[in-house]
Amino acid sequence: MIKSKYKSIKRILKIIILFGLLLFAGFWVWYEYTYSMDTVIPFEVNDSSLKTKVLIASQGSKFKDSLVQGILKHYQNDAIHFKVIDAYTMFTVNIDKWDALVIINSWEYGSPPRNVKNFIKNHPDQLDKLIILSTVGSSNIALKDIDVISGESIIEKTPEYTNIVVDRLNKIIK
């Protein structure tokens, strides 16, 4: 009789654990589907032989894509070569080839993703080329020696953030 109660309790515990794991897996899939960023397919605008070169490293989302398009539209009549890449491929970037780098990505818990931290750490003498726009809800974002723009991913605010990035980009390239 004791063995049978023990087997019943053991079976119930297995069911509870299995249910918990399934619930966790379901939550994980929902979170990734809801909050993960799309991959940015690299593309270039204007001839790469132009004197002024700007790299935009971004994550894919409706807001970030609109911001990139707003920046490109602003400079559509200027002799500037733009290349747009996914922010997670920044480790492949030779910073010396670029006059300015615009990084547009999401920060978690007030801190940049590891690839952005590493990129900054590996290029301490070229931080004046960086413009970072972080899509977070806080305006208290700071990195030593780097001016970081931060704000929410609200599509209606795209023109406002585009103007801020363009103003800072003009200070670097003009």
Contact between 59 and 87 (Cβ < 8 Å): yes
For residue 41, the model assigns a pLDDT of: 86
| Same structural domain, 32 and 53 | no
| Same structural domain, 8 and 86 | no
Q: Is 166 helix (H, G, I), strand (E, B) or coil?
A: helix
How is residue 108 written in tokens?
Answer: 């978690």
Is residue 26 scored above 70 in pLDDT? yes
- Mind listing the pLDDT tens digit for each residue in 35-85? 556 788 899 999 999 999 999 999 888 899 999 999 999 999 999 999 999
Contact between 162 and 139 (Cβ < 8 Å): no
Instruction: Over range 152-174, report the average pLDDT.
Output: 91
Q: Which domain holds residue 141?
A: 43-173
For residue 129, the model assigns a pLDDT of: 93
| Same structural domain, 24 and 51 | no
| Same structural domain, 73 and 23 | no
| Same structural domain, 91 and 144 | yes
CA angle 156, 52, 90 (to 5 degrees): 65
Q: What is the mean pLDDT of the chain?
A: 84
| pTM for this predicted structure | 0.75
| Same structural domain, 16 and 50 | no
H-run or E-run covering 102? strand 100-105
How would residue 18 be classed by pLDDT, with cut points 50, 70 and 90?
Answer: confident
For residue 88, the model assigns a pLDDT of: 87
For residue 110, the model assigns a pLDDT of: 64
Contact between 135 and 119 (Cβ < 8 Å): no
For residue 147, the model assigns a pLDDT of: 61
C-alpha to C-alpha distance for 100 and 1, rounded to whole angstroms: 76
C-alpha to C-alpha distance for 32 and 12, rounded to whole angstroms: 30
| Same structural domain, 117 and 134 | yes
- Mind listing the pLDDT tens digit for each residue in 111-141? 778 888 888 889 889 889 999 888 875 445 5
| Same structural domain, 30 and 79 | no
Instruction: Over range 24-41, report the average pLDDT.
Output: 68
Give 120-154 as a DSSP string: HHH-GGGGGGEEEEEESS-S---BTTB-EEEE---
% of the chain at pLDDT higher than 70: 83
| Same structural domain, 123 and 149 | yes
Q: Cβ contacts of residue 103 below 8 Å, gap of 6+?
A: 57, 58, 87, 90, 116, 119, 130, 131, 132, 133
Domain count, the chain: 2
37 secondary structure, DSSP code? P
For residue 153, the model assigns a pLDDT of: 80
| Same structural domain, 100 and 69 | yes
| Same structural domain, 129 and 68 | yes
Q: Cβ contacts of residue 24 below 8 Å, gap of 6+?
A: none
| Same structural domain, 90 and 130 | yes
CATH number, domain of 143, equals 3.40.50.300
